[in-house]
Amino acid sequence: MPAEHPPRGIDVARVLRRAGLRPTRQRVALAGLLFGNGDRHVTAEMLHEEAVRAGQKVSLATVYNTLHQFQRAGLLREIAIGGQRTYFDTNTSNHNHFFLEGEGRLVDIPGNTIRVDGLPEPPEDLRISHIDVVVRLVRK
């Protein structure tokens, strides 16, 4: 079950504690940037640039580590695009994505419109947790 992520104006330190994370200064600052403007898709590089513009002294390695900690805590969803780039999605609900190839942009597919049929049975001791569908788009 996804962890609750903070809506605008909510105490991010409290949300981090509820997710089992210690609310360090850098985690609180990065969470504020991530969750302060609704659902979005970011790369570590994008968030690092935002943090620097906001006056935060944080390394790119710290941003990577923090994003992965947030993902493991259920605050973010990780979406890998062809082994080339990883995006982190603040919308942790089950949904799919369009990827605009020429722009490197990830966009939510509205609704629950994609169906996947004919899935194989997983091994006896495993279950399918979710299926990520990324539909790649190019401009005409």
CATH number, domain containing residue 75: 1.10.10.10
The pLDDT score that the predictor gives to residue 1 is 41
What's this model's pTM, rounded to 2 decimal places?
0.84
Q: Answer whether residue 115 is part of any domain.
A: no
Q: Answer whether residue 96 is part of any domain.
A: no
pLDDT in tens, 90-137: 999 888 999 999 898 999 998 778 888 889 999 999 998 888 888 999
Length of the chain: 140
Cβ–Cβ under 8 Å, residues 86 and 50: no
What range defines the domain where residue 46 resides?
12-81
Number of domains in the chain: 1
| Whether the predicted pLDDT of 17 surpasses 90 | yes
Q: Answer whether residue 131 is part of any domain.
A: no
